[in-house]
A and B are shown apart, each in its own frame.
Chain A
């Protein structure tokens, strides 16, 4: 079995078979992660570059760990300065790295479309680790994996993405992936944070959080990113918390069993209360572990394609 595309640029357009294959392969690697020796020789001799043009800690570490566990050689290139400021063009930067003969590139960038652009200027397999407000496919996959692990299925579930959907790359990957797998996807948040035309993607919009909790099986709670100019779209973090924050009180009042995901890092007391973040409904740390397994699966499947 192999994937039908040699890059992972997003979950938009990825077939159900391919998603299934990645999730199933991740299950195998998840088991490897429980062994005392957590390393397999699958990608021995392969060189992978992690090109991070935007700050990231957990995604980069997760990818790096996944690569090391597959015995690949990895190189990290991190810079938050755009190529414009450096004087070297992005294309030249990539070509230089490519000239050192690399097999795969994992890329994160502030601009949407960079992974797609890379496929035009590089021969390596390209994996998108987050591009602009576009997609973060491995996050989408690990969210799906975590839902499946806990609830045993994805098909037929109702999943609501809560928060700054407009400025989230996680949201689109979740929407595309989950819908392909047969889930019903909705969003909820202040309307200043809901992107134009989202209903046309077949996504329901909830305007109140209580209704979203009532009607859904899973909440994927997004981080309110102050660094992304949230300040002009909500009056204050306090008001956000009061009207959209996920609290135990709210869940209990609605007497609702619900699974809570969060891509991290958590703003405790803003989009989610500490009680919920540490409580019985959440799988936040499982998501982190699953992230390594899912990334191993993606790297393995792309790295061993012919």
Chain B
């Protein structure tokens, strides 16, 4: 089968590619880039891509797929569908499932579940058994089974000593350790601590709870020479800590979630639990620091922290409701609307942060837009104006604070593993 993407802007900063051209795919492989001849159009499906941008498939390195254990909230399949709809060809899923991803069987189970899907799913293994922070998980075995990184996400690795061992041990096979940075003893609140939490009477989590663990992790990374990746960075001081660590040449990377650069704690004023997340929404100053960190490269990636929750769990009294919001289907639109169209990031930087860098951090090869390469592509329509409608989400869950929000730009099509997702359906190409 033959598919032609006609007149897309082909953009991949990794190969210094930035040109408008035709691209022909045959049986999932890019066979030709350049002006096509009449012959080429024979029995080809032509997709008009005028004003669209074709980039290496987007990758979300921080999602929760809930399987195994909470298939009522999300499954590998529904989460992958949401990823495809959101413009992603690959995701890394976090290990806080039930049971945790702390055995090779679970890694293989997830890989098996996603084998046929357009979206590549890379499990992140638990760093410690049951993410308890006491004993190392069989990291080598998990790595061999397909885990690309290790994390106790949901919480930070409990002690500096265990973190040290996790970082040392992972050096044997070069996998990064992804840290949810939060000092547990200071983190019993339900929102960011500040004037807003004081006024709302909600217990607060101070941003210093995050900064403390970011600082600890950077120091232990320096000491061990291991690779630490700071997940969903949300506070100004944490961004500065990472900036300094990078200046010193340490192996530290970071990601930010769209809600942390598009919302502030002010949103909590209605006590809507769809704004409850961890790390919590912070202040305008923090938001500005996150954007600055994205601009100057301190923050390498944008990742959604896609966290599906059952309706009955989210529709709870505020202090009892679980943390987290959906992200896969709004992320690209938010990045385009809040960062690219507002001239904070270029579209090339978007590609770096949403496709190239996450793969590099996880040691996954970056797809090239080149003849002879497998087509792993996202076609972005940067100008389309659309309204977020949670009832149309492919995710099983509905917990998004962005419902009804007007966004500019979204995914037009994704292509991977000889399949295309376009107009809300999958096809072979």
Contact = CB atoms under 8 A, between A and B. Distances in A.
B179 interface: no
Contacts of A217: none
Interface string A56-98: 0000000000000000000000000011100001110000000
Contacts of A198: 198
A205 to B, nearest CB: 13
Interface residues of B, number: 21
Given A82-B317, A116-B270, A133 B312 contact: no
B319 interface: yes
A289 B201 CA distance: 27
Interface stretch (B189-197, B360-368, B410-418): B189-197
B240 interface: no
A10 B195 CA distance: 17
B202 interface: yes
B426 to A, nearest CB: 36
Contact of B195 (A82, A112, A134, A196): A196
Nearest to B188: A229
A114 B190 CA distance: 14
B383 interface: no
B169 interface: no
A89 B200 contact: no
Given A133-B203, A196-B193, A196-B204, A113 B198 contact: no
A109 B320 CA distance: 12
Nearest to A82: B320
A114 B198 contact: no
B318 interface: yes
A134 B317 contact: no
B317 A133 contact: no
B36 interface: no
A133 to B, nearest CB: 4
Contacts of A166: 198
B199 interface: yes
Nearest to A194: B198
Contacts of B316: 83-84, 89-90
B198 A195 contact: yes
A113 B195 contact: no
Contacts of A132: 201-203, 318-319
Contacts of B317: 82-83, 90, 109-111, 113-114, 117
A172 interface: yes
Interface in A112-150: 112-114, 116-117, 131-135
Nearest to B196: A197
Interface string B179-221: 0000000000000011101111111101000000000000000
A135 B318 CA distance: 15
A196 B318 contact: no
A201 interface: yes
B315 interface: yes
User: Which has the most chain B C-beta neighbours within 10 Å: A90, A113, A116, A200?
Assistant: A113
A248 interface: no
A91 B319 CA distance: 14
A169 interface: yes
Contacts of B200: 112-113, 134
B320 A111 contact: yes
Contacts of A12: 199
B298 to A, nearest CB: 27
Contacts of B203: 132-133
B198 A169 contact: no
Nearest to B198: A195
A172 B270 contact: no
Contacts of A84: 316, 320
B312 A89 contact: yes
A90 B319 CA distance: 12
A137 to B, nearest CB: 12
Contact of B315 (A91, A110, A200): A91
Nearest to A133: B201
Contacts of A197: 194-195, 198
B223 interface: no
Contacts of B320: 82-84, 111
Contacts of A200: 195
Contacts of B41: none
A90 B271 CA distance: 15
Pick from B197, B204, B312, B319 the residue with the most CB of A within 10 Å: B319
A57 B198 CA distance: 26
A231 to B, nearest CB: 15
B295 to A, nearest CB: 29
A117 B270 CA distance: 8
Contact of B201 (A89, A169, A196): A169
Interface string B227-260: 0000000000000000000000000000000000
Contacts of A116: 270-271
Nearest to A113: B271
Contacts of B206: 196
Contacts of B204: 196
Contacts of B201: 112, 131-135, 169, 172
Question: 10 smallest A-B Cβ distances: which pairs?
Answer: A134-B201, A113-B271, A197-B195, A111-B317, A112-B201, A133-B201, A111-B319, A195-B198, A113-B318, A112-B202
Given A111-B319, A112-B201, A134-B200, 9 more contacts: A83-B317, A109-B317, A110-B317, A116-B270, A116-B271, A132-B203, A132-B319, A134-B201, A197-B194
21 contacts: A83-B320, A84-B316, A84-B320, A89-B312, A89-B315, A109-B317, A111-B319, A112-B202, A113-B200, A113-B318, A114-B271, A116-B271, A117-B318, A131-B201, A166-B198, A172-B198, A196-B194, A196-B197, A196-B204, A196-B206, A197-B194
Interface of B: 193-195, 197-204, 206, 270-271, 312, 315-320
